[in-house]
Amino acid sequence: MDRIKIVGGERLKGSIPISGAKNAALPLMIATLLTEDRLTLKNVPNLADVNLLARILRNHGVDLAVDGKRVGGTSHLGETFHLTARDISDTMAPYDLVSRMRASFWVLGPLLARMGEAKVSLPGGCAIGTRPVDLHLTGLKALGADIEIDGGYVIARAPKGLRGGHVIFPKVSVGATHNVLLAAALAKGETLIENAAREPEVGDVAACLVKMGAVIEGIGTSTLRIQGKPRLEGAVHAVLPDRIETGTFAFAVAATGGDVVLEGTRRDLLTTALDTLAETGATVTDTDNGIRITRNGDGIVPIDVETQPFPGFPTDLQAQFMALMTRAKGTSVIRETIFENRFMHVQELARLGADIKLHGDTATIRGVKSLRGAPVMATDLRASVSLVIAGLMAEGETLINRVYHLDRGFERLEQKLSACGAQIERLSAG
Ligand SMILES: CC(=O)N[C@H]1[C@@H](OP(=O)(O)OP(=O)(O)OC[C@H]2O[C@@H](n3ccc(=O)[nH]c3=O)[C@H](O)[C@@H]2O)O[C@H](CO)[C@@H](O)[C@@H]1O
Ligand SMILES: C=C(OP(=O)(O)O)C(=O)O
């Protein structure tokens, strides 16, 4: 298994190109199941999750061509994906693929809408909580689906096709919104989704569906009104910038007291997180094609944070913010309200000398004068990158094990950071 070695203490200086968003690229790729025509997606990041979803879609009969150079056996390093689902050869998504990634479960709605049936394994993804799928299922039932769960599989049927319905989500769910939105685009008549997730990735998918011929009102709000079409067309769409990658690098720059331009990204995708970062003493300025983050030698101001659905502070940046707070000049409190088990980075940060106490959903972080490098273990995607930030701040060497978690969601992480002066390298297993 590969490991990442970091020798901390370097300030980050330079520029970092921000990749397309993983959490938009995945549902956008799935949207190909809704049309016989070609869907062209630009700015697709080269990530393990993207490659795994490509395998899942091929299993359903999707043809995928990638522009750009390819590296390695199964991995694509391509910016542009051409996806065509002329015929769906299989409506089953098997356990061994779906159990490895959350977003793969979102094929359920589109397969059902197009084929009138689907059998999809219950999903996996980061082990950050129980992560049920009840909201996905009640949403699809409101569109006329018959659903049963058997042997770890969701078996859904709508022999006469889906019809529009009224879905009121009792709590905000990104995945359930994607699943129902994608299905509704091909359902007969109008669907109203209330308390929809407002995450920018949902808006990106909706914008692509509009290009494919669906009529959608309320994009970017919590009420989506979708007029489904009997047939959707192909489209060309560019994946929006990754706000979680943006925030991660922004926090890393602040953590090391650096000066970096994050290229190709937008402040409005993560206003709350960047405003919070500014409160810690970093400076955030807009540039022609991105955002510049600087922090001078002054200490890091401790700031309390509570994770919330968009536009609040994202749960996917909680671990990274905690890493920054470990060196703050005082005590901060972080409350995780979205996932009940998203604090696995705490014990790993403690190995580097962080002082963090956990009480239920709340972590109290007392800033320490210095961190010291140590061997640590990545437990999930965002937890592992919080260890990278801590390693960049720490004195001496940090060795991060199980970096396959990082490869799910961060494209060329070591190259991007080392180009800005970080001492970071991948130690290949062989
Ligand atoms: C691939 C992807 O885009 N993953 C993101 C997506 O995950 P994901 O779509 O899985 O997250 P959700 O927004 O659905 O989860 C939010 C909360 O709702 C709960 N819930 C969800 C569905 C359901 O049927 N029943 C239920 O109770 C979850 O357990 C959680 O407590 O949004 C999360 C919240 O922003 C992010 O952390 C993940 O990075
Ligand atoms: C939690 C994440 O991914 P997933 O939902 O696939 O587990 C994430 O992207 O931070």
| Pocket flag, ligand 1, residue 318 (CB < 6 Å) | no
Atom index in ligand 2 nearest the CA of residue 49 equals 6
Distance 222 CA to ligand 1 centre (A): 16
Ligand 1 within 6 A of CB of 174? yes
Q: Which atom of ligand 1 is nearest to the CA of 382?
A: 39
Q: How many CA atoms lie within 13 A of 368 on its CB side?
A: 20
Tell me whether residue 316 is annotated as binding. yes
3-18+242-427 CATH = 3.65.10.10
| Residue count (the chain) | 430
pLDDT tens figures, 248-307: 999 999 999 999 999 999 999 999 999 999 999 999 999 999 999 999 878 999 999 999
Q: Please report the ipTM that was assigned to this predicted complex.
A: 0.99
**211 contacts: CB under 8 Å, gap ≥ 6:** 235, 236, 237
Contacts of 212 (CB under 8 A, 6+ apart): 31, 34, 35, 39, 185, 232, 233, 234, 235
State how far the Cα of 83 lies from the Cα of 205, in Å rounded to an integer: 15
Query: Do 32 and 187 meet the contact criterion of CB atoms below 8 Å apart?
Result: no
Alpha carbons 249 and 262: distance in angstroms, whole number = 8
Q: What is the DSSP code (8-state) at residue 33?
A: G
- Residues with a CB atom less than 6 Å from ligand 2: 23, 101-103, 125-126, 316, 381-382, 409
CATH topology of domain 22-229: UDP-n-acetylglucosamine1-carboxyvinyl-transferase; Chain (3.65.10)
Nearest residue to 75 (alpha-carbon basis) of 53, 99, 103: 53
**Residue 62: alpha-carbon gap to chain centroid:** 23
Q: Which residue has the tokens 């590296």?
A: 71
Choose the residue to mutate in 316, 338, 382 for probing ligand 1, maximizing ligand atoms within 8 Å of C-beta: 338
* Residues with catalytic roles: 126
The whole-number pLDDT of residue 68 equals: 64
Ligand nearest to C-alpha 169: 1
Beta strands across the sheet bearing 223-227: 166-168, 190-194, 223-227, 215-217
The strand pair at 397-401 and 3-7 is best described as antiparallel
Question: pLDDT by residue (tens digit) across 54-79?
Answer: 999 999 999 999 986 444 334 444 58
All CATH 3.65.10.10 domain ranges in the chain, comma separated: 3-18+242-427, 22-229
What pLDDT is recorded for position 71?
41
Q: Which ranges of the chain have pLDDT less than 50?
A: 69-77
154 is in an annotated binding site: no
Distances (CA, A) of 172 to 168, 175, 311, 426: 10, 9, 12, 38
Q: Does the model's pTM come out above 0.95?
A: yes
Q: Is 186 in the pocket of ligand 1 (CB under 6 A)?
A: no
Q: Which of 20, 70, 69, 10 is nearest to 49 (CA)?
A: 20
